[in-house]
Amino acid sequence: MVINMFKQLRRLKPFPDSSVTTSKNGLLRNITLFQLTMMGVGSTLGTGIFFALAETVPLAGPAVILSFTFAGLVAGLTALCYAEVSSTLPVSGSSYTFTYMTLGEGAAMVVASCLLLEWGISGAAVAVGWSSYLNDLISIATNLEIPMAIRSSPLVEVADGWGWNGESYINLPAVLLVLMCSLLLLRGSRESAIINAILTISKLGVLFLFVVMTLLAFKVEHFEPFIPFGVEGVGAAAAIIFFSYIGLDAVVNASEETINPQRNVPLAIIGALIIVTFVYILVAISSLGVQPAADFAGHNGNLTMVLQRATSVPWLSGLLAAGAVISIFSVTLVCLYGQSRIFFAMARDKVIPEVFCKVDPHSRSPKAGVLLSTVIVTPLAGFVPAQLLWSIVSLGTLITFITVAVSLIMLRSYFKRMPPGYKTPFYPLIPVLSIGSCIYLLMSLQQTVYVLFAVWILLSAIFYFLYSQSRATP
């Protein structure tokens, strides 16, 4: 029995035939290179810059610029690995499917658990932050505010851990955001991709306007001392920032719905990474030039607050808040998209009930997967604060990135699945550096995160042995 169980954990999923335009489950290849690149930018740009400064500047000081750069470089190493693996295996499920095809069923279940953390929790965390910017926009436009009782989480951090805030009941704007994104996804991937592209272009314009306007109050002295908390602070901030690069996985997740994936997926991954990293660093420099690092904690790290400090023109702050509202909408949209496609891939392998890979004949959307994603994300967005979720997302993302690099090594060394549409340069140096860098960032996370992650993996293992093991048919 033990031997049979071990054999099943090592069982591999067969490689796909990517030459057809429609998958056997009905997904249609209709996403263009531009739409795919904007999906990567849209799912990434916003999380790291609209929220992370308040969390990371207190850890690294002005050297958070180095944190963004280091996180971008690590993501870049992984992006090159992603580009080759995804061009070789252009299917839904991203790293879950890659792992299933190269490392086996057991490892794939661990990666699937990480991806559900990565997409579900990040979608909820981003939605939570949306409430703050929406309130800023309403306040600037009307001098009114959304009541605190319905725009903040009832769960709050207290001296000995976490407790309930009796003055708050639900983060209603966050819940409404998740529901709006779900309704859009139910209409179909093509429509969602088009709207995301429009929203992404809009927020790029707003962020560049932010950079220009902050030049009015830029002070070089705010960058001294540059590294007040040492290399450890830079590493700790980079570990938190890393969650903001999950957009790479969004691109790969759409491989099965992309036109000419062997060409377009690698180009979209690399293009999105370059755009996002450049904007992150530019906005971080601009923000630190406006106010000292000590002033970034809490709501003061909000870019709207930074711009209000830089200029006395109210409508500019309102425009930025509007840009943040748009930006976060597109991030949440892609997070829900990513999670629903993970469910799709798992259901196709019968790891979870097959209803989640049923594709609507009209919208070409796996509606059950979208609805399940909504059910999971909505309560997290409504009742859990974002700061409790960031590090967990980063841990799941880092483990996922490691498995992608390992999958590339397996493809090259054992499966001889060559030649792909794209080849990673300097192989095997790039995947080895990717693995090492991710491990370094993992070591920078708090011990509490590992405990929560271990509990989640245990629950996932119980589900696998009770349900999935006897049904899985890759």
The DSSP secondary structure of 235-259, one letter per residue, reads HHHHHHHGGGGTHHHHHHHTGGGBS
Q: Considering the domain boundaries, does residue 194 fall inside one? A: yes
- Rounded Cα distance between 411 and 160, Å, is 48
Could you tell me if 286 and 215 are in contact, meaning their C-beta atoms sit under 8 angstroms apart? yes
- The domain tally of the chain equals 1
Higher pLDDT, 92 or 346: 346
* 375/343 Cα distance (integer angstroms): 13
Would 271 be classed as within a structural domain? yes
* Mean confidence (pLDDT) of the chain: 80
More confident residue, 15 or 27: 15
This prediction has a pTM of 0.78
> 196-235: per-residue pLDDT in tens?
778 778 878 888 888 888 888 888 888 888 888 888 888 8
Whether 399 maps to a domain, the answer reads: yes
**pLDDT confidence bin for 148, thresholds 50/70/90:** confident
Give me the pLDDT at residue 435, please: 92
Model pLDDT for residues 371-407, shown as the tens digit of each residue: 888 888 888 888 776 666 666 777 787 888 888 899 8
Is residue 36's pLDDT more than 50?
yes
Q: Confirm whether 3 is domain-assigned.
A: no
Tell me the CB-side half-sphere exposure of residue 359, using CA atoms within 13 A.
19
Q: Which of 328, 382, 375 is nearest to 153 (CA)?
A: 382
Residue 299: CB atoms within 10 Å: 11
C-beta atoms surrounding 13 within 10 Å: 24
With respect to residue 32, please indicate whether it lies within any of the assigned structural domains. Answer: no
Q: List pLDDT tens digits, range 168-184.
A: 788 888 899 899 888 88
Residue 421 binned pLDDT confidence (cut-offs 50, 70, 90): low
Q: Give tens-digit pLDDT for 102-140.
A: 888 888 888 888 888 777 777 787 787 788 778 888 888
pLDDT, tens digit, for every residue of 263-286?
A: 888 888 888 888 888 888 888 888
Q: Cβ atoms within 10 A of the Cβ of 276, count? A: 27
By residue range, what is the domain housing residue 127?
54-468
Give a yes or no: residue 159 inside a domain: yes
Report if residue 455 sits inside a domain: yes
CATH code for the domain in which residue 69 is found: 1.20.1740.10
Q: Do the domain assignments include residue 152?
A: yes
For residue 8, name the pLDDT band (cuts at 50, 70, 90): confident
CA distance linking residue 368 with residue 366, whole number of Å: 6
Asked whether residue 48 carries a pLDDT value surpassing 80, the answer given is no
Q: What is the pLDDT of residue 102?
A: 86
CA angle centred on 242, ends 441 and 295, rounded to 5°:
100
CA angle 221, 225, 230 (to 5 degrees): 155
Which residue's entry shows tokens 């899985």? 472
